[in-house]
Structure 1
Amino acid sequence: MTEDAQILIARLLAHQTLRREDKLVKRALSDENFRSDVDARLKACGMKFVDNVYADHVTLALTRDSESKVFGTKDTWQNNNFGLARDGVALLVVLWSLIILPKRERQEAHQMAQEDQNDMFGKEKPLPRAEDTSIGISYRTLLADFGEKLGKKTRMDMNLGQLSRLGFIERKMDLIMEGPLLDLLMDTDALKDRIINGALSDIFHIPMPRTPAVIEAERLAAEEAEHALTEEVKPSEQNKE
């Protein structure tokens, strides 16, 4: 067991990602004792094993306690540790939203459909693989919809190239597809509600929830706008007199 744990960690360090179908990866996902050995070895080095039931790959990452000590000297480490500029991070979030969120819906819908079917043996059914449910997005569509806000064509092409080299995306002709890391290193729980109900609500055509706080904010904004309009009208009325 000890040697296998060592080999799995070394392979992840060398290759960055491994597929879930890999023999040692499958063992780490199913064998509790083996996983504990892997986790203990990684924790001693300030690292952790990262997997996601919706993703086809696994990878390694730094623990939260280690991040500041490793990346604290870099200007960009607080929003990413890949050296991405602000527009690069924005592009990454947009791609995650347009590729991963629809994929999640298809995977969950497929899973629910399977659970609704009668199965006399009650066998657990895995989620469909990402490569079977992730359809990507057209580069031309991305450029038309977000080019002006994300640095136009030259800057977007530069950031897409960097995201491809880092393993977040893959390019196939005009299509931008999910890479091994896109569904692994993005915090879905933290991002999903913020994106659907906030930053990209206009794209997903989902209005923000009408909570009391939102209603009060809208009322105050309306009062401020009315006050500003009144202040603008007063000088013109005085001039007429």
Structure 2
Amino acid sequence: MDDAALLIAELLTRRWLPRSHPRVKRALVDAELFAQVEQRLAQSGLRWMDSIYADHVSVALLPAAQNGVMGEAGLNANNNLELPRDAQALLVVLWALIVLPKRERQTSRAQEGDAGQSDFFPAAKPLPQAASVSPVLSYKALLEDYGPQLGKKLRLDANLKLLERHGFILRRQDEIAEGPLLDVLLDYDVLAPRILDGALAEVLVRERAAEESEPNQPPAPDHQALAAMDMEASQDQGSARPDGRL
């Protein structure tokens, strides 16, 4: 069995692999091997999924295979993981709290510990790895800030376990970190504008104004912001995609 077949078999078995995996690293630099992987995946109705901003890669359905695999009901569903409404809202909240600041740090080539330091050649820095700039959330803070809107402790705990099982988050005692699929399967180009420029635009403006007027006060959770993200997660049929990307 050649490297392309072994890589595909391992991806299908594990659902995701780190970019540091030897076969993944080789596929990302070997154009011939990568072409073989893509061709063989396509023959099975699958496609390679990765992002330069994420530390893992995965596979998902090709658009041409969606109808035959998912059926009409699956195509019309607002997600293909059978996530309940409050779990979808929680996923969007976690994505916004983790991925948005992570992307900002990555695109500015700023390591988390370098905030506030001047840099004459910021573009010369390599893109920081996700693990080095991805925020880590406190479970207690999440429960206190968003628990009442997300079903309180019982539902929050159940949905966190569900999202962890699907690879969207990692749990380390009281910490919630980015999972291997959070920035791979959720489409940043679709979701970010909906949050930053859509229903939350006015909320974010008010929060920035409040932070400027009271720089020493941490921003309080905005329940209107949560409601807007909940609406995006549960009502927008186009934001959930049956090809493996939500």
TM-score by length of 1: 0.75
* Contact 1:163–1:169 under 8 Å retained in 2: yes
Match of 1:60, SS?
strand
**Quick one: structure 1 residues 202 and 40, their matched pair in 2 at CA, closer, same or farther if it must change by over 3 Å?**
same
Q: In the superposition, relative to structure 1, how do residues 54 and 115 fare at CA in structure 2: closer, same or farther (>3 Å)?
A: farther
Q: Given the alignment of the two structures, is residue 72 of structure 1 paired with residue 71 of structure 2, yes or no?
A: yes
Q: Which residue of 2 aligns with 1:171?
A: 171
Q: 1:174-199: CA deviations, max 9, x gaps?
A: 21110101010000001111111224
Q: Give the equivalent residue in structure 1 for 2:61.
A: 62
**2:7 aligned partner:** 8
Instruction: Tell me if structure 1 keeps the 8 A contact 2:8–2:37.
Output: yes
Query: Shift in Å at residue 68 of structure 1?
Result: 2.9
SS in 1 for 2:58: strand
Query: Residue 87 of structure 1 aligns with which residue?
Result: 86
Structure 1 match to 2:222: none
- Compare relative contact order (CA 8 Å, sep 6+) and give the higher one, 1 or 2: 2
Q: Count the aligned residue pairs.
A: 202
How many Å separate the matches in 2 of 1:202 and 1:165? 34
Large movers: runs of 4+ above 3 Å? 73-77, 111-116, 199-207
Matches within 5 A, 1:1-241: 3-72=2-71, 78-110=77-109, 116-117=120-121, 125-201=125-201, 204-205=204-205
Distance 2:109 2:87 in 1: 32
Q: Which amino acid aligns with 1:70?
A: V
1:203 positional shift: 5.7
Higher mean C-alpha displacement, 106-115 vs 80-89:
106-115
1:145 Cα deviation from its structure 2 partner: 2.4
* Unpaired runs of at least 5, structure 1: 208-241
CA drift at 1:71: 2.2
* Cα distance in 2, alignment partners of residues 28 and 116 from structure 1: 34
Q: For residue 234 of structure 2, what is the aligned residue in structure 1?
A: none
For structure 2, the 5+ residue unaligned runs are 112-116, 208-246
Write the letter of the residue equivalent to 1:15.
R
Q: Report the secondary structure of 1:52's partner residue.
A: coil
| 1:79-101 C-alpha deviation (Å, 9 max, x unpaired) | 22212112111111110110011
TM-score (norm 2): 0.74
Seq. identity, %? 47
**Cα deviation digits, residues 214-236 of structure 1 (max 9, x gap):** xxxxxxxxxxxxxxxxxxxxxxx
Greater C-alpha radius of gyration: 1
Contact in 1 for aligned 2:138/2:174 (Cα 8 Å): yes
CA RMSD of aligned residues (A): 2.7
Distance 1:73 1:40 in 2: 27
Q: Which moved more, 1:38-47 or 1:79-88?
A: 79-88
Contact 1:55 1:183 in 2 (8 A): yes
SS in structure 2 of the partner of residue 148 of structure 1 = helix
Cα distance in 1, alignment partners of residues 83 and 95 from structure 2: 15
Contact 1:77 1:83 in 2 (8 A): no
